[in-house]
Amino acid sequence: MLIRSQSQRGIALVEFVIVLPLLLILLMVTAEFGSMFYHYNTLTKTVRDGGRYLAEQATPDTTGEIILSDEVATTARNLVVYGEPGVGEPLLEGLATADVSVTQVDTDHVQISAAYQYRPIFEILPVFGFGNDVGPGRTFQASVTMRAL
């Protein structure tokens, strides 16, 4: 018995060294996907809020067509980027009001869209020959069209 337990001494350490890289990669991938999901979710929520604001503030003129003033469009862009009507700290690092577009689709609808360049936590995640490595980032796009009230 004593001889057998002595021969098993380093086995746990060897198994740990073999499994550790796989566990670290799994942890990195989980963190990266969680971060991507958070950023995309934040972008879509703020675009939806900006669209709701546009739909409420678009005013109809005497012919029944809606008018989007520059002030309303600027406030909607600020809502998407900063989460508030004024200027402040961007909700997503790297998102600017220039990345947000406000358009009038037709006589009844307004549209707001945003494009955000996501920067990953880890610059590169290896996939060990099972596809392409995850590159430097992805562009997330969100858009909403709403009927003006």
Tens digits of per-residue pLDDT, 80-109? 999 998 888 999 999 999 999 999 888 888
In a domain, 7, yes or no: no
Q: Is the dihedral of CA 97, 58, 144, 30 positive or negative?
A: positive
In a domain, 1, yes or no: no
In a domain, 3, yes or no: no
Q: Give the confidence band of 5 by pLDDT, cuts at 50, 70, 90.
A: low
Distance between CA 6 and CA 20 in Å, rounded? 24
Distance between CA 117 and CA 141 in Å, rounded? 9
In a domain, 4, yes or no: no
Distance between CA 103 and CA 75 in Å, rounded? 14
List, for residues 12-48, the tens digit of each pLDDT value. Answer: 888 899 999 999 989 988 998 999 999 999 999 999 9
List, for residues 59-75, the tens digit of each pLDDT value. Answer: 777 677 788 889 999 99
Polymer length of the chain: 149
Share of the chain above pLDDT 70, in %: 84
Average pLDDT, the chain: 85
> Which residues on adjacent β-strands are paired with residue 117?
139
pTM: 0.79
Determine which helix (DSSP H) or strand (DSSP E) holds 22, and give its type and residue range.
Answer: helix 11-57
Q: Give the confidence band of 136 by pLDDT, cuts at 50, 70, 90.
A: low
Domain span at residue 38 reads: 12-147
In a domain, 5, yes or no: no
The tally of domains found in the chain comes to 1
- The amino acid at residue 78 is N
In a domain, 6, yes or no: no
In a domain, 125, yes or no: yes
Determine which helix (DSSP H) or strand (DSSP E) holds 115, and give its type and residue range.
Answer: strand 109-118
